[in-house]
Amino acid sequence: MGLHIGSIAPDFEQDSSTGRIAFHEWLGSSWGILFSHPKDFTPVCTTELGRAANLKPEFDKRNIKMIAVSVDDAASHQRWIPDIEETQNAHMNFPILADADRKVATLYDMIHPEASDTLTVRSVFIIDASKKIRAIITYPASTGRNFTEILRVIDSLQLTDSHKVATPVDWKDGDDVVIVPALQDAAEIAQRFPKGHKVLRPYLRMTPQPNK
Ligand code: BEZ
C-alpha cells in the first residue's frame, strides 16, 4: 500500500554516515524530515546537502531532525562528505542513510521505475512527533529542492496544528492567515483572533497570524 499524508512513517534499521540508525527510536519525540538523494558524488545532491546542513539551526528551532538517504554505502558517504563540506562551505551535521540494499528507498517508494530503475527521485517526507507523515514532496533527479520552501511547509503545519487557521497562497511566517471555514461561532472567533479579522467573502476570512 502506498504512503499517504496521515500514514505512520515506516520504521526501519539502516546503516548511516553516523552509524546504525533505528528510525523511530532515532526520531524520539522530534519531528523529522527524511529526504532522498539519487546517488553519491552527484552535483545537485552535493549542493542540497550543503544547504540543508547550513539550515540546521532553522530546523532545530522547529524541533525537526534531518536525515538524508542515498543508495550507496557508508564508506562511499564518508568519501563524499568532504566534497560537500569543501564545495558548499558547510559542516555535515546530520546523518545520511547508507541504503545500498534499497531498504529505505523501497519502503518509502523512492525509486520510480519510469524515471530510473536504480536511482531514487528526490523525495521529502515531513514526519510529526507522533510519527505521522504530514507532507510528501517529490521532485525529479534533475531539479534541486528548495529547503526554504520545506521550512515554510513545516511552519504552516506547526501553526495550523495549534490554531484554527490555514495558510494561503505564498504564505510565509508572519503573513496573514485564513480562518478555517468550519469555525463559525462569532464569540470563539473574537476570542481566538483578538487582533480582528477581515471578511472578504463569508468563506474567506483573513486574520493576522495568531502566534505573532
Ligand atoms: C545530481 O544530483 O546532480 C543528479 C543526480 C541524478 C541525475 C541528475 C542529477
Condensed to tens digits (0 to 9), the pLDDT of residues 56-88 reads 999 999 999 999 999 999 999 999 999 999 999
109: left (phi over 0), alpha (psi -120 to 50) or beta: left
The set of cell numbers assigned to 116 is 530510473
Tell me what pLDDT residue 198 has: 98
Q: What is the CA(207)–ligand 1 centre distance, in A?
A: 42
One-letter identity of residue 5: I
The set of cell numbers assigned to 183 is 469555525
- In the residue annotation, 45 being an active-site residue is answered as yes
Tell me what pLDDT residue 1 has: 64
The answer to whether the CB of 41 falls within 8 A of the CB of 8 is: no
The answer to whether the CB of 143 falls within 8 A of the CB of 122 is: yes
Tell me what pLDDT residue 143 has: 97
Tell me what pLDDT residue 55 has: 98
Instruction: Give the whole-number percent of the chain exceeding pLDDT 70.
Output: 100
Point out which residues pair with 125 in neighbouring strands.
Answer: 34, 136
Q: Which helix (H) or strand (E) holds 67?
A: strand 64-70
The model's pTM is 0.96
Q: What is the CA(85)–ligand 1 centre distance, in A?
A: 18
Q: pLDDT for 173-210, tens place per residue?
A: 999 999 999 999 999 999 999 999 999 999 999 999 99
Residue 43 alpha carbon, nearest atom of ligand 1: 3
Tell me what pLDDT residue 34 has: 98
Nearest residue (by CA) to ligand 1, atom 9, is: 142
Q: Which helix (H) or strand (E) holds 154?
A: helix 147-162
Q: Residue 10 has what DSSP assignment?
A: P
